[in-house]
Chain A
Amino acid sequence: MNTRRKITSTFFETLMKLSAFLIVAVLLYILGTILYKGIPSLSWEMISQKPSAGFYMGGGGGILNAIVGSIYLAGGASLFALFFSLPLVIYINNYAKKNGKFVQVIRLIMDVLYGIPSIVYGTFGFVIMLALGWTVSLLAGIITVGIFVFPILVRSMDEVLRTVPPEVNQAAYSLGATRLETSVFVSLRQAMPGILAGFLLSFGRAIGDAASVLFTAGFTDNIPTSLTQPAATLPLSIFFQLGSPFEEVRNRAYAAAVVLTVIILIISILSRLVMKHFSKYIIK
Chain B
Amino acid sequence: MTNKRNSFRILADKLSGKVFLTFAVIACSLILLILAGLSFKSYPLLKHVSLFKVIGSSIWAPADGKFGLLPFILSTFLITILATVFAVPVCLLASTYIVEYASNTVRNLIMPVVDILAGIPSVIFGIWGVLVLVPFVSFLGKTFNIATEGYSILAAALVLAVMVFPVLINIFTEVLRTVPNDLRDSALSLGATKWETISKVIYRKAAAGLFAAVILGFSRALGETIAVLMVVGNSPLIPKSIFGMGYPIPALIANNYGEMMSIPMYDAALMTAALILFIIILLFNAAGRLVLIKLEKN
A: residues with CB less than 8 A from B are 5-6, 8-9, 11-13, 15-20, 22-24, 26-27, 29-30, 33-34, 37, 84-85, 87-88, 90-92, 95, 104-106, 108-113, 115-124, 126-128, 131, 147, 150, 154, 178-181, 183, 201, 204-205, 207-211, 214-215, 235, 238-239, 242, 253-254, 257, 260-261, 264-265, 267-268, 272
Contact = CB atoms under 8 A, between A and B. Distances in A.
B9 interface: yes
Given A88-B27, A111-B289, A260-B123, A119 B257 contact: no
Contacts, number: 256
B106 to A, nearest CB: 8
A204 B119 contact: yes
Given A116-B285, A261-B121, A267-B119, 19 more contacts: A19-B94, A20-B110, A22-B94, A33-B131, A34-B128, A84-B26, A112-B286, A115-B216, A115-B220, A118-B223, A119-B253, A120-B281, A127-B37, A127-B41, A178-B12, A239-B126, A239-B226, A239-B230, A268-B116
27 contacts: A8-B195, A13-B195, A16-B97, A20-B97, A23-B110, A24-B113, A26-B165, A27-B116, A34-B127, A91-B17, A91-B24, A106-B24, A109-B27, A111-B285, A112-B31, A113-B30, A121-B34, A124-B33, A124-B37, A127-B37, A150-B27, A180-B13, A181-B9, A181-B13, A183-B16, A239-B230, A264-B119
Given A17-B97, A211-B250, A261 B120 contact: yes
B49 interface: no
A180 B119 CA distance: 34
A254 B130 CA distance: 12
B102 interface: yes
A119 B21 CA distance: 29
Given A15-B93, A87-B20, A116-B281, A257 B124 contact: yes
A243 to B, nearest CB: 10
Contact of A16 (B13, B30, B101): B101
Chain B at the A interface: SS class: helix
Nearest to B22: A87
Chain A at the B interface: SS class: helix
Contacts of B225: 117-119, 210-211
B28 to A, nearest CB: 5
Contacts of A131: 37
A210 B121 contact: yes
B112 interface: yes
Given A30-B125, A116-B223, A209-B121, A95 B21 contact: yes
Nearest to A267: B119
B210 interface: no
B75 interface: no
Contacts of A27: 113, 116-117, 120
B42 to A, nearest CB: 10
A193 to B, nearest CB: 16
B289 A112 contact: yes
Given A30-B128, A214-B254, A208 B121 contact: yes
Contacts of B106: 20
A87 B19 contact: yes
Most chain A CB within a 10 A radius of its CB, from B121, B131, B285: B121
B12 A117 contact: no
Chain B residues touching A, range? 35 or more
Interface string B185-210: 00000000111101100000000000
Interface stretch (B53-61, B62-70, B145-153, B270-278): B270-278
Given A6-B193, A210-B121, A211-B122, A87 B110 contact: no
B93 A33 contact: no
B278 A116 contact: yes
Nearest to A121: B34
Contacts of A23: 90-91, 94, 110, 113-114, 117, 165, 169
B40 interface: yes
Contacts of A120: 34, 38, 223, 274, 277-278, 281
B119 A268 contact: yes
Given A210-B123, A211-B254, A268-B119, A119 B23 contact: no
A42 B12 CA distance: 55
A40 to B, nearest CB: 14
Ranked nearest first, the 6 interchain pairs of A and B with the lowest CB-CB distance are A117-B223, A208-B121, A16-B97, A91-B20, A9-B195, A178-B13
Contacts of B20: 87-88, 90-91, 95
Nearest to B198: A12
B23 A87 contact: yes
B138 interface: no
Contacts of A110: 27
A115 B281 contact: yes
Most chain A CB within a 10 A radius of its CB, from B123, B125, B223, B282: B123
B162 interface: yes
A108 B212 CA distance: 14
